[in-house]
Amino acid sequence: MSDFYHSEQDSDRFRNRLLVAGTGVLLAFLLLFGRFFYLQIVQHEYYSTRAESNRISLVPIMPNRGNIVDRKGIILARNYSAFTLEITPSKTLGLEETIDGLAEIVEIQIKDRRRFKRLLEESKNFESIPIRTRLSDEEVARFAANRYRFPGVEVKARLFRQYPEGPMAAHAIGYISRINTKEKEAIDEGGHGANYKGTDHIGKIGLEAHYEYDLHGTAGHEQVEVDAGGRAVRVLSRTAPIPGNNLTLTLDSQLQKVAEQAFGGRRGSLAAIDPSNGAVLALVSSPAFDPNMFVDGIRFDDWDELNNNPDKPMLNRAIYSTHPPGSTFKPLMALSALTVGKRTPGQAIADPGYFNFGNRRFMDDKVGGHGMVDMYKSIVVSCNTYYYVLANDMGIDNIARVMGDLGLGKKTGIDIPGEATGILPSQEWKQQRFKKKEQQKWYAGETISVGIGQGYNAYSTLHMAHALANVLNYGKVFRPHLVNTITNPNTGEVRTVEAEPVRQISLKTEHVDLIKRAMAGVVKEGTGARAFAGATYESGGKTGTAQVYSLKGGRYVAGQVKERLRDHSWYVAFAPADKPKIVVAVMVENGGFGAQSAAPITRQVFDYYLTGQTPGGPAPETEAPEDATDGPLIEEDAHEAD
């Protein structure tokens, strides 16, 4: 063929090889085409979805949490907006490097890193986690200028919860804090998982916890196109969140303030209820804490201090601490006796100053006794002997039945979590309470101390206020509640929490009126007279003393007992005396006898609520009189006494 080829053989071989190569090329390209066909046709759906989920990120938009205002509209819990610096760990180039780099631009403290680490362990990989909260405007600007260096890092405007009144009514309002694993599970189980995707705070105690799902609102979401750095490029669609409902409380925050001040830091609690509808007007647990500390994650030292404080500021004493009510139990005992027909008002006993039962002797606190005592007098002078005899006549199960009807020994149903049941002793209760057979038996002697509010009896101040309110309301029982109305901010729809009574106890009007009159007598001429001297209104009350320390064979002298072993001071009261607008139960731990600490606090609360008079300072403690008419029970063994 060609002159230039040395041999035909050579040329043929070359062409042969070209053919081999060409075939190889075609096969290789066919292989590629096959691969493309597989990816683009066979697997197209799959890769489309992958590309879309790369591209589109569904960002939940947190709804604004509802506000909490008191009955007069004073804001108790609200939200404010602040900038946070957040990291999406999966989108950073290196977590440590990113944080170190950020630390050069904005201040990042050890505690921020620590919190970040903790949140990182709890979170899923694609979530953004705050490394810094509450950035200053300058820090935001500095970060914005350096943003390109930090893929996966964003400044977000977040709403923070704020409690403008600080510790005021903290136990009732509660607080929100980061959702923990257990709460997360509860949310998911309750079917709220989707709604809480973008939420990282939840109500922990108080109203914030009880009304969590009302306050939370409905989350919205944004479909956002994101780039590989995790930055939103544009918003594709948006469903607006629906803000949470606002709560309007029955609580009167000025009254609450007066009551808290009256405690002056002393340990104790107070519950004030409007008897006509069960509205809680004030709910004090002293000492308190500042709920704002929890919102952003509480600092370790603060937490430590709250937990190790011997005064236990986190404890909601008004609903959780239960104590024997002492003599404040007597008006309820009297009413029970009238109701079951064991006494008439005029029936009187001769009080020798003690009551012998078997070989034991129960002492009155007045040596020599009160003389002839009828029901009215028994309340006014707080005669123990009258109630020893009465309790013995009624029997424990009769007492338990009527007291249970009045609301003692069970939860009142108040709209905050953590309520104690209290102890209303009965034969049945004792059987359930104790395991050993010999302990399960109820002794008739035990009934006698129950009759004067001691023994196994244990109630919270809320219990006592609730029971008294039920009496004053002639048996109409309202559930105590802190929230008056729930308002939907979108529709303006208002829902009233508690409008109707939940049940009716059958009480006779004349019986209730007698109790009211006797309690007014306490204030006029009895154990409460000193605390209410000079009041411009009439009120009814009853002092009480709960024994902390049982003295065997000696008289109780307050000054000789260590502070923590002093008696608890109780006072239950209502005002005005004829048509009560407010019922109060107060307990001051180790406050001595009832008239000493608890009654003066009640005086300040009534003064403010009925006359608008604000006190100058904490309620004073009255001096112990020579002959304390409301001293503690001293139970002596008759043999020892003789």
Partner 1 sequence: MKLIKRFFRAIVDHLDMPLFLIVLALMGVGLLTVFSATSSDGFEKLDKQLINMAVSTAIMLLVARTPPQTLMRFAVPLYITGVILLLGVALFGIVVNGSRRWLSLGLVRIQPSEIMKIAMPLMLAWYFHKHESLLKLRHFLIAGLILVIPIGFILKQPDLGTSLLIGASGFFVIFFAGLPWKIMLGLGAVGGAALPFAWSLMHDYQRRRVMTLLDPTSDPLGAGYHIIQSTIAIGSGGGLGKGYLNGSQTHLEFIPEKHTDFIFAVFSEEWGLLGNGILLVLFTLLIARGLMIAAAAPTMFSRLLAAAITLVFFIYAFVNMGMVSGILPVVGVPLPFISYGGTALVTLMLGIGILMSIQTHRMLVKK
Residues known to be catalytic: 327
Q: Which of 58, 61, 233, 350 binds partner 1 (CB under 8 A)?
A: 233
Ranges within 117-136 binding partner 1 (CB under 8 A): none
Q: Select from 127, 139, 183, 225 the one that contacts partner 1 (CB under 8 A).
A: 225
CB within 8 Å of 539: residues ≥ 6 apart: 520, 523, 532, 573, 574, 575, 576, 577, 606
Q: Residue 57 forms beta bridges with which residues?
A: 224
Residue holding tokens 């409380």? 249
Residue 226 interacts with partner 1 (CB under 8 A): yes or no: yes
From CA 639, how far away is CA 488, in angstroms rounded? 69
Contact (Cβ atoms closer than 8 angstroms) between residue 618 and residue 598: no
H-helix or E-strand spanning residue 403: helix 396-406
CB of 120 to partner 1, least distance (A): 16
Q: Which stretch binds partner 1 (CB under 8 A): 47-55, 103-111, 285-293, 433-441?
A: 47-55
- 148 near partner 1, judged by CB under 8 A: no
Choose the stretch contacting partner 1; rule: CB under 8 A; options: 18-26, 167-175, 592-600, 627-635. 18-26
Q: Indicate whether 47 belongs to the interface with partner 1 (CB under 8 A).
A: yes
- Rounded least distance, CB 223 to partner 1, Å: 13
Q: Can you read off the two tokens belonging to residue 153? A: 């890092």
Residues in 52-111 that interact with partner 1 by CB under 8 A? 52, 54-55, 90
Helix-helix angle 384-394:330-340, to 10 degrees: 40
10 forms part of the interface with partner 1 (CB under 8 A): yes
Taking CB under 8 A as the binding criterion, the range among 29-37, 108-116, 501-509, 520-528 that sits at the site for partner 1 is 29-37
Size of the site for partner 1 (CB under 8 A): 41
Taking the least distance from each CB to partner 1, the nearer of 57 and 254 is 57
Exactly one of 8, 13, 100, 126 binds partner 1 (CB under 8 A); which one?
Answer: 13
CB of 31 to partner 1, least distance (A): 8
* 237 is a site residue for partner 1 (CB under 8 A): no
Asked if residue 317 lies in contact with residue 535, where contact means CB atoms within 8 angstroms, the answer is: no
User: For helices 253-263 and 598-611, what crossing angle results, to 10°?
Assistant: 150
Report, in Å, the least distance between residue 118 CB and partner 1: 23
Q: What is the rounded CA–CA span in Å between residue 317 and residue 311?
A: 11
Question: Mapped to the 3 state alphabet, what secondary structure does 592-624 carry?
Answer: CCCCCCHHHHHHHHHHHHHHCCCCCCCCCCCCC
Binding residue (CB under 8 A) for partner 1 from 18, 145, 367, 494? 18
Shortest separation between residue 90's beta carbon and partner 1, angstroms: 7
How far apart are alpha carbons 408 and 471 in whole angstroms?
A: 12
Given candidates 66, 167, 221, 228, which one binds partner 1 under the rule CB under 8 A?
Answer: 228
**Cα distance between residue 134 and residue 111, in whole Å:** 14
Q: Which residues contact 518 (CB under 8 A, 6 or more apart)?
A: 331, 334, 375, 376, 378, 379, 380, 540
What are the residues binding partner 1 (CB under 8 A)?
Answer: 2, 4, 6, 10, 13-15, 17-18, 21-22, 25-26, 28-29, 31-33, 35-37, 39-41, 43-44, 46-48, 50-52, 54-55, 90, 225-229, 233
